[in-house]
Structure 1
């Protein structure tokens, strides 16, 4: 299951384990399409948490992690950024990113 978080929750959440964060905007067409792709990806992965973060409502987190556009996917492992994808992505690319 994919859940929406805010910037305050983000720092705590990414500190342990693998977390894929989708920085998105509610007015972004590609972001809406990516949400369907992520739901499909989430069905096939167990060892990672996938969350979304509203770009427009969490400017502090957006700035802190250097996100300049949406959608942006950032993969964190134990608090460290290990990979980043910008724009609409297809399922196989996101799965490869997660499997690392």
Structure 2
């Protein structure tokens, strides 16, 4: 069963990361690489079922950006059971992101 990529708020993120596997994309609506990354994430979501993929608007969720130490966009953070497992900055390719999820 595929997952759906969805947008969440900082408050929702705090609740979501404490359980299971979550890949968070900190993005900006004005960022070209962020837009390209969203297509990659939607493609990845079609083939996985054990990892939640969510997007968090960098410009709107400043508290979450500060809390998680995000210094630019796009930034991907992979969480498992409340712990940050890995972080990547910039536009990433599908195989690199899949490796990050599988390693977690």
TM bin, normalised by shorter chain, reads over 0.9
What CA distance in whole angstroms lies between the structure 1 residues aligned with 2:47 and 2:101?
11
* Alignment RMSD (CA, Å): 0.4
Tell me the equivalent position of 1:99: 102
Tell me the equivalent position of 1:30: 33
Please give the TM-score of this superposition, normalised by the length of structure 2.
0.95
How many pairs does the alignment contain?
Answer: 100
Q: Identify unmatched segments of 5+ residues in structure 1.
A: none
What CA distance in whole angstroms lies between the structure 2 residues aligned with 1:80 and 1:29?
29
Aligned to 1:39, the other structure's residue is in SS state helix
What CA distance in whole angstroms lies between the structure 2 residues aligned with 1:35 and 1:98?
16
> Which of 69, 76, 80 pairs up with 1:73?
76
Tell me the equivalent position of 1:3: 6
Q: Identify unmatched segments of 5+ residues in structure 2.
A: none
> Which of 40, 44, 48 pairs up with 1:41?
44
Aligned to 1:57, the other structure's residue is in SS state coil
Please give the TM-score of this superposition, normalised by the length of structure 1.
0.99
